[in-house]
């Protein structure tokens, strides 16, 4: 699995000009699933995201977690994180998980984040979405479970 995490002061997602999910302070997560991803990938990501300390403390140091600041998450499925751009000008997405697996893994990932105590808003798997955000910092972090464990 791959996740692009952006620390935001606000973020929202619209589908057909209707707001589907919105948060204030927290994380916007772009979530990609590959074939072969499993529960261990979800567990790793939830632990890292829940405990990540990238919010400023009273000294201005990145030392607080999302839970410490009562933040929320907006999670968006993003198969294009697995784009292969090595050949030609049109990306290949063959490394992205099959939709049947990816949708289940995405739902399980969001459920695990909620179970950890975090508020999670989502987009809609496979939908055409318009995502808006204000990246705070900017702070952007990439997680790739295949290179991290």
Clarify whether 78 is annotated catalytic.
Answer: yes
d(CA 68, CA 16): 34
Clarify whether 80 is annotated catalytic.
Answer: yes
**Active site residue: 6, 18, 55, 80, which one?**
80
Clarify whether 130 is annotated catalytic.
Answer: no
CA 38 to chain centre: 16
Q: Is 17 left (phi over 0), alpha (psi -120 to 50) or beta?
A: left
d(CA 67, CA 73): 11
**Active site residue: 6, 78, 122, 145, which one?**
78
**Active site residue: 6, 39, 55, 79, which one?**
79
CA 146 to chain centre: 16
Q: Which residues contact 22 (CB under 8 A, 6 or more apart)?
A: 10, 11, 12, 13, 74, 121
Residues acting as catalytic residues = 78-80
């Amino acid at each position: 699995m791959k996740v692009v995490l952006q620390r935001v002061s606000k973020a929202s997602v619209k589908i057909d000009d209707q707001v589907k999910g919105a948060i204030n302070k927290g994380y916007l997560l772009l979530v990609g699933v590959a074939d072969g991803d499993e529960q261990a990938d979800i567990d790793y990501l939830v632990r890292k995201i829940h405990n990540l300390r990238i919010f400023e403390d009273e000294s201005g140091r990145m030392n607080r977690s999302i839970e410490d600041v009562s933040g929320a998450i907006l999670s968006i499925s993003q198969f294009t994180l697995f784009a292969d751009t090595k050949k030609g000008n049109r990306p290949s997405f063959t490394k992205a998980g099959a939709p049947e697996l990816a949708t289940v893994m995405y739902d399980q990932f969001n459920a695990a984040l909620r179970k950890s105590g975090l508020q999670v808003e989502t987009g809609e798997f496979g939908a055409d979405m318009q995502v808006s955000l204000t990246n705070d910092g900017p702070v952007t972090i990439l997680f790739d479970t295949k290179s991290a464990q």
